Structure 1
Amino acid sequence: MVRMRAWGPLRALRYGGCQQTSGQIVIYETRTKKRVGLTQLALAQRTTPAARDSCTWKRVVTVRPTKVTGAAPGIAGQVSPWCGRGTPACKSTKSEAPRKLLHPPRGAPTFTLSSQDPKVSEAALHVFDAQRKLAGHPGLFGQGRPLHRTVDKKLIAKNRGAACPKRLPRPPGKSCDEFPFASTKEGGASGTYSRRMINAKHTSDAGGSNYLLKAYRDHRILNGDAFWVNGT
């Protein structure tokens, strides 16, 4: 028996007006965990509203293998686009995809924070460190489990209160940054969290409308939906 694992931007090919990306599927033998095949892919997706209510979508997905080695040729099949559990755009999705290609994985989207981004560099470094130090490696693809968004205001407040209580002193210009995020079910109230005093602007920006909230919106991550976090 073999199993497949997808890496890279392939996981995030979920939504968007027009996307082009690449990825790869690695095939492992279940018993020995030995890598037995690799397929590298070029992917393109175009999604357009099919009706004014924006709940009906027409999607065209093109998947083109660019390199195939090992056992990979044996997993050919029909492309089956997927847009996530419980999302409005899934109410009616028409897909027009080429046949006899590879199945894209039913993976969660990834939210990325980069230490090279001067607006959120300290928050990105905190995420990077926390994911590698915390038990279970929360949100770290390939090592841990994904995070799950929550819109429960009481739970969000409870998460913040556990990880970054108001009684904690904040140095001038600093704010208490927490990971996993307060807006996830895995937040501070779970008992497994990291906190760090970082640039206050970095904290607010990372969790704001141009970063985390934007990812929720762009990827249609709703209450209970899973997502990965990539701190680089």
Structure 2
Amino acid sequence: MAPLSSWKLGESFFDTTATRAGAIGRCATTWTLSVANATYGTSKSSVTLNEFRCDNATGGRPTVGCVVPWYAAPLIYSKSRAPQLASHITRAQRSGLPGATFKSPLTRTTNAATMKRNRDLACPRDESRPQGKSCDEYPLATSKEGLSAGGKRRSFPGCSIPGVPSRTGAKGASACMISTSDQNYQGGMNSSFYKAERMLDGDPYRVLIGD
């Protein structure tokens, strides 16, 4: 390449045909490079970047969009807006439950039976709730790492769930009674996040606590 040791720059663009309702497709960009040398002849090589997934399957707006599906996007809850929720998740993750890092993310599930079982195991319906509070489970019921995946139930001091110990380890789920306003905030955040990040079944994501 001339001049010697210089960069050659270029751009490529993609468009998706996954536009019908429910469609999901992969999008790849391929570069074909030809290097000519009078002494050695022409050398060709191809590089394909298969990084993107495009879909019209999230129900969000815009209806068609693309993401890098292996990237574990962060679902960030505000500690100032939902302090009881933030406290529970912080303690749950510190006890060893996954979701805080790229190395150990949560995995989205859209299976209704799995989500119901996660909720029922972590927060049994016949368990009493203090007035103005709701049972929060972690990992999220909308993840494949919930209690339906195995392990035991755990809780923490101040969570108003007597008889459930503060266990440690990556398996299982934590439950804690938190204010209904924190719980409602979480539900809205989850719904917006899944649509905005185009999270489909099997996609990784992280759960973080912000200001």
**TM-score normalized by structure 2?**
0.58
Q: Deviations over 1:167-219 (max 9, x none)?
A: 111000000011001111111222311111010121122022xx011111000
Amino acid at match of 2:55: P
User: Secondary structure at 1:228's aligned position in 2?
Assistant: strand
Task: Indicate yes or no: 2:128 matched with 1:169.
Answer: yes
Q: Out of 148, 158, 166, which is 1:189 matched to?
A: 148
1:92 Cα deviation from its structure 2 partner: 9.6
Q: Distance between the aligned counterparts of 1:140 and 1:226, measured in 2?
A: 11
Aligned amino acid, residue 51 of structure 2: W
Confirm whether residue 218 of structure 1 aligns to residue 196 of structure 2: yes
Partner residue, 2:155? none
Distance (Å, rounded) in 2 between the aligned partners of 1:231 and 1:218? 18
Between the two proteins, the alignment pairs up a number of residues equal to 148
1:148–1:113: structure 2 CA closer, same or farther, 3 Å change rule?
same
Q: TM-score, normalised by structure 1?
A: 0.53
Structure number with greater Rg is 2
Amino acid at match of 1:203: Q
Please name the residue that 2:98 is paired with: 138
User: Gapped runs of 5+ residues in structure 2?
Assistant: 1-12, 28-46, 57-63, 152-171
Q: 1:155 to 1:49 in 2, by over 3 A?
A: same
Q: Structure 1 regions of 5+ residues with no counterpart?
A: 1-46, 59-77, 94-103
- 1:89-134 CA-to-partner distances (Å, cap 9, x unmatched) read 7x997xxxxxxxxxx9x521111112022xx23212211111111x
Larger RCO, structure (CA 8 Å, separation 6 or more)? 2
Distance in 2 between the 1:200 and 1:49 partners? Answer: 43
Residues 146 and 226, structure 1, Cα contact 8 Å, conserved in 2: yes
- Pair 1:199-2:168 in alignment: no
User: Among residues 113, 116, 119, which one is paired with 2:80 in the alignment?
Assistant: 116
